[in-house]
Structure 1
Amino acid sequence: MSIEQNIRIVKDFFAAIGSGDERRLLALVAEDVEWIIPGKDWPLAGTHRGHAALANVLRKASDEVETTYPSPPEFIAQGDRVMVVGVATGKIKATNKAFKDDWVFAITVQNGKVAKIREYIDTQALARASERDASGLA
């Protein structure tokens, strides 16, 4: 596929996430998709494989995190890789703590489908926003 086609697939993938259209989203990703979200001490960290895991992590994100994107992301591509650079702001719902996250997604497109996603995010900002005090309160 061309670089332009790969960028279009990734843009469509982000649009499907934003619209909450799970069927459209899953049509854009490989059956064995792998999404790596780094970090610990916050709800979404881990390696998520396959359609069911992808749908689950996106539902969990919707349930646990309020996120806004103050400006459109930048898309940079070479070969089958598309880098998406952006910033997110929001809060962790359980703690009501705000965060700002400058992020990069490294996305591999194979055979016209999103095959691998690796996030590079501010894990410390997200972990801090997820922290509760010793009593379990935010």
Structure 2
Amino acid sequence: MSPNLEMLRSTYEGQSSENATRLLDLLAADAEWVEADGFPYAGTFRGPDAIVANVFKRLATEWIGYRAEAHSYLEQGDQIVAFGFYSGTCKETGRAMRAAFAHHYTFRDGKIARMVQYVDSHTVRLAMQA
């Protein structure tokens, strides 16, 4: 297993708060984070502060037990794709969801330079509808 894959796996396999800390440590200062069109948190965010503010803080405040669990990975050079499922319960509606995802990472010098999300946005939006 490559060092990049080993580090990335550690961001999915622990407690959510620990995973977030490890992920922040892996982000390049100019990292680009692309949340899929149609996803409630859609957009392109640059740098750890923007990524935390526009994605992770919202997930932490709008969901109960939100998790991203990867079950398999593909690696080629500096590219890694993680496949898995999001799960959690929307605080506002009390509805639970489980949505498939793929995260495509590009590494540069041992750091995440870019992540592009592919996700079943419909499933997530259904859980958020009152």
TM-score of the superposed pair, with normalisation by structure 1: 0.78
Amino acid at match of 1:50: G
Match of 1:135 in 2: none
Separation (CA, whole Å) in 1 of partners of 2:47 and 2:8: 17
1:24-72 CA-partner distances (Å, limit 9, x unpaired)? 4332110111111113372x22212111012212111111123246x65
SS at match of 1:117: strand
1:102-122 CA-partner distances (Å, limit 9, x unpaired)? 111101111110111111100
Shift of 1:125: 1.1
8 A Cα contact 1:16 1:22, kept in partner: no
Gaps of 5+ in 1: 132-137
Match of 1:51 in 2: 48
Q: Which moved more, 1:7-16 or 1:87-96?
A: 7-16
Q: Percent identity?
A: 27
Separation (CA, whole Å) in 2 of partners of 1:125 and 1:60: 18
Count of residues in Structure 1 that have an aligned counterpart in Structure 2: 128
TM-score of the superposed pair, with normalisation by structure 2: 0.82
Shift of 1:88: 2.4
Match of 1:73 in 2: 71
Aligned residue among 109, 117, 120 for 1:119:
117
Separation (CA, whole Å) in 2 of partners of 1:22 and 1:101: 19
Shift of 1:22: 5.7
Question: Which has the larger Rg?
Answer: 1
8 A Cα contact 2:10 2:19, kept in partner: no
Aligned residue among 88, 96, 102 for 2:100:
102
8 A Cα contact 1:22 1:55, kept in partner: no
- RMSD value, Cα: 2.4
Match of 1:134 in 2: none
Instruction: Please show how residues 1-138 of structure 1 align to structure 2 within 5 Å.
Output: 4-14=2-12, 18-20=16-18, 24-40=22-38, 42=40, 44-56=41-53, 57-66=55-64, 67-68=66-67, 72-131=70-129, 138=130
